[in-house]
Structure 1
Amino acid sequence: MGFVLDTADIPPRERVDAVCAAMMEASAPCHVIHEDLDGGVRTRLEVWDLGAANIFIARSSGIRLYRTARQARQDAAPVVALSVQHRADGRHEQLGHRQVVPPGALLTVDLSAPYDFSWSGYGGAGCLQIPINQIGLPVDVIRRAAANLRTSPLYDLVTTHVAQLVRDAERLSADPAADSLGHASIELARALLASAAHTEPHARTVLAETLLHRIRAYVRQHLGDLDLGPATIAAAHSISVRHLYAICSGAGFSLEQWIIGERLRGAREELRRPDSRHRTIAMVARRWGFSDPTHFTRRFRDAYGVTPGEWRRTGQW
């Protein structure tokens, strides 16, 4: 069950206090300063559980979130947030590091320390919030990484992953596999931070420990690529195909069959969506990595007992 606050449902004179209270509940105690009180406060906040982590989404008219050193010291359960800006430029300052965060960029905020974050006009951001004790890295490593995220080869992978979590937050939070997804997301975050901190002992150990999670995330982001296969996956992670197969075998699954299963699940979900009705079965198949519609239909029927066309007409699970 998610937590949602929308000021559209709140009388104007009560909105400032409501947003402040909701922000403390959703993220961390901080001062909430609205850019234009006379112009009206428009804010929507959402929090969706994802195992040991959660997804926090904020959309608002101009806003500033200012966390003092005293507020940070009083927080008994600090978290680290990996946030993707999705509207308006974000402005962030923490521990002497200032940056402008354009839409689509990833930012790490250490909520155990003071910070100043804002945007002007109507903007928004969504983040994965993880308790620091779940990250498994020293705080100084996390803080070093926060200033160097873009130097990591994992930056694009994790940015896309967090953006997808934010986009589908409600559905993913309700999924039976939400706990597992939360664990995998924490491992990806840990890998990114260890890599970006450039501390060799931590990076080497963490990257080895999180390799399977990174492989799974990479595959899910490239299911529509017709050339996705063992060779491309191995090359993307700088390992041999033999090592890739050994990792998958050790985890108890067949790489090729898992990829086919993920593609079929993606196609099945798309076929149910009203906004995909204009696409032919062949178009949907190709979007999910099947170049041969006949092969796709056969695989779909073997997996679900109905053809893609029958599934689309009935709209059943």
Structure 2
Amino acid sequence: MSLVLSTDSVPAADRFAYRHDVISKTCFPLRMNATWESFCGTIVTDRIGFLLVSSVAAEAEHVDPARCLSAQSEREDFITVGLQREGSAVVTQDNRSAALGPGDFVLYDAIRPYQLAFPERFRMTFFQIPRRAFGVRNGEINSITGTAIRGDDGVASVVSRVLEELSRNARDYDPEIAEMLARNTVDLLATVIAEQLGRDAMRTDAAKHALMLRVRGFIRRNLAHADLCPKMIAAAHHISVRYLYRLFEKESKTIGRLILEWRLEECRRDLARPAHGRPSVTVIAHRWGFQNPAHFSRSFRAAYGMSPREWQAFNDSSVPDSSVP
């Protein structure tokens, strides 16, 4: 169900403070400078799987990030993608400024210094995406933050249309479909990042970075495949296993460790779902490529300090009892 918040029924003198509070809670922590006498707008917030989607329509305004440590700690694992739907905007980060028109989009990190400027009435949809979902290093994402990605150019044109469709129909997707859409959307965005890096002829390692992005996206999409292994990954990208290992030499995790951690993350998410209709621990483990239940249980406990069933019980006990008034 959508959360719809509007200043239409708020007294003019209170609109700025109301909007500031609403955006800080539903989109990201911020500090806004605007003419409060004419300040008005609407925010519609939905969830699509693990994506938080907030569509904002308002008059011209300027936005600066808040310097709030408590809010920062809650937002540090997210990257924001802003899709311009009406009007224009300028998004600035990392000494780069992206001038956006309808259909264009931009990536930025909401806990590092940035600015949003809307010179006219606008409509923009913000997608908050867990940083880990991209499967890329911070440096690769940060290299294109504050860069306008044109909605009529190459792969970006496909992504722009997908984001537009998601923003229009966010409330209509079933939970399982929403999860699949969220993952596929992130894969598309990772492809755009790879394309942007590949265009930068001044970076001698651009091709290697682009290949790494494709490899990580392939791993993410095939986590449920029991036979996922370096040989399978290398064959899919027409490289040798030795070269694949070389790609990961400077990474913080080996290929095997990365696959294990990502599989455990997916299992932990599924195990935390509501008890009604939730598959068994064994079924969830098999769903994400774990063929040996004992190995899965040991790996889960080593990663999270509790067994899969203890994690289930912990989440079940955290759900409020709706029968209690």
Shorter-chain TM range is 0.5 to 0.7
The change in CA–CA distance for 1:209 and 1:95 in structure 2 (over 3 A counts) is closer
SS at match of 1:84: strand
1:209 Cα offset (Å): 5.6
Alignment of 1:236-275 (within 5 A): none
User: Structure 2: 5+ residue runs without aligned partners?
Assistant: 199-205, 222-237, 239-325
Which residue among 55, 58, 66 is the counterpart of 1:57?
A: 55
User: Structure 1: 5+ residue runs without aligned partners?
Assistant: 215-238, 240-317
What is the match of residue 67 of structure 1? 65
1:19 Cα offset (Å): 0.8
What is the match of residue 123 of structure 2? 124
1:196 Cα offset (Å): 1.5
8 Å contact kept, 1:48–1:169? yes
Counterpart amino acid of residue 15 in structure 1: R
What is the match of residue 37 of structure 1? 36
C-alpha deviations, 1:70-109, integer Å up to 9, x for none?
A: 6699333332122221121101111100121112211112
Alignment of 1:144-183 (within 5 A): 144-146=143-145, 147=147, 149-150=149-150, 153-172=154-173, 174=174, 176-183=176-183
8 Å contact kept, 1:145–1:194? no
What is the match of residue 19 of structure 2? 19
What is the match of residue 295 of structure 1? none
Distance 2:64 2:53 in 1: 20
* Equivalences, count: 212
SS at match of 1:8: coil
What is the match of residue 206 of structure 1? 213
Counterpart amino acid of residue 166 in structure 2: L
SS at match of 2:75: coil
C-alpha deviations, 1:195-240, integer Å up to 9, x for none?
A: 32233233224335647999xxxxxxxxxxxxxxxxxxxxxxxx9x
Distance 1:168 1:212 in 2: 28
% identity of equivalent residues = 16
Distance 2:19 2:90 in 1: 20
8 Å contact kept, 1:30–1:65? yes
8 Å contact kept, 1:50–1:179? yes
1:180 Cα offset (Å): 1.4
Distance 2:150 2:85 in 1: 17
What is the match of residue 115 of structure 1? 114
Distance 2:87 2:126 in 1: 15
Q: TM-score, normalised by structure 2?
A: 0.58
Distance 1:27 1:71 in 2: 16
Distance 2:72 2:220 in 1: 34
8 Å contact kept, 1:92–1:100? yes
Distance 1:72 1:189 in 2: 29
Aligned alpha-carbon RMSD (Å):
2.9
8 Å contact kept, 1:58–1:124? yes
1:15 Cα offset (Å): 1.6
Counterpart amino acid of residue 14 in structure 1: D
C-alpha deviations, 1:142-183, integer Å up to 9, x for none?
A: 0113337459842111111111111222223x5541111111
What is the match of residue 298 of structure 1? none
